[in-house]
């Protein structure tokens, strides 16, 4: 009779699980959409996080660059008619 305990089975690594991080809306539809994209990482293994983080970072950088660029120039309006030149000397 042996008092030795059987070797425990090696534990399987835990699967992906949501972190439960609360995302506060920023008021910018574009930025809020990018931040929601971070939730995609909750369902990926750690080696898949990089792609999501880089995608979100690229989008946020573009949004900030657009703010620095300022508003786009106004579209030209309709052409202004030129009055006829009937007063020749």
Reported as a single tens digit per residue, the pLDDT across 14-73 is 777 777 778 899 999 999 999 999 888 888 888 889 999 999 999 999 999 998 887 777
Question: What residues have CB less than 8 Å from 36, skipping those under 6 apart?
Answer: 23
Measure Cα distances from 69 to 20, 27, 62, 66, 82 in Å: 35, 20, 10, 5, 35
Instruction: Record the pTM.
Output: 0.59
**pLDDT for res 56:** 95
CA distance 68 to 47: 33
**pLDDT for res 72:** 72
Residue 17 tokens read as 């699980």
């Amino acid at each position: 009779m042996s008092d030795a305990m059987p070797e425990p089975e090696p534990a399987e690594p835990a699967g992906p699980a949501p972190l439960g991080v609360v995302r506060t809306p920023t008021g910018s539809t574009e930025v809020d959409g990018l931040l929601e994209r971070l939730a995609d990482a909750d369902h990926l293994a750690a080696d898949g996080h990089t792609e999501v983080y880089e995608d979100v970072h690229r989008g946020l950088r573009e949004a900030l660059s657009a703010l620095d660029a300022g508003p786009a120039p106004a579209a030209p309006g309709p052409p202004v008619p030129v009055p006829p030149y009937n007063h020749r000397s």
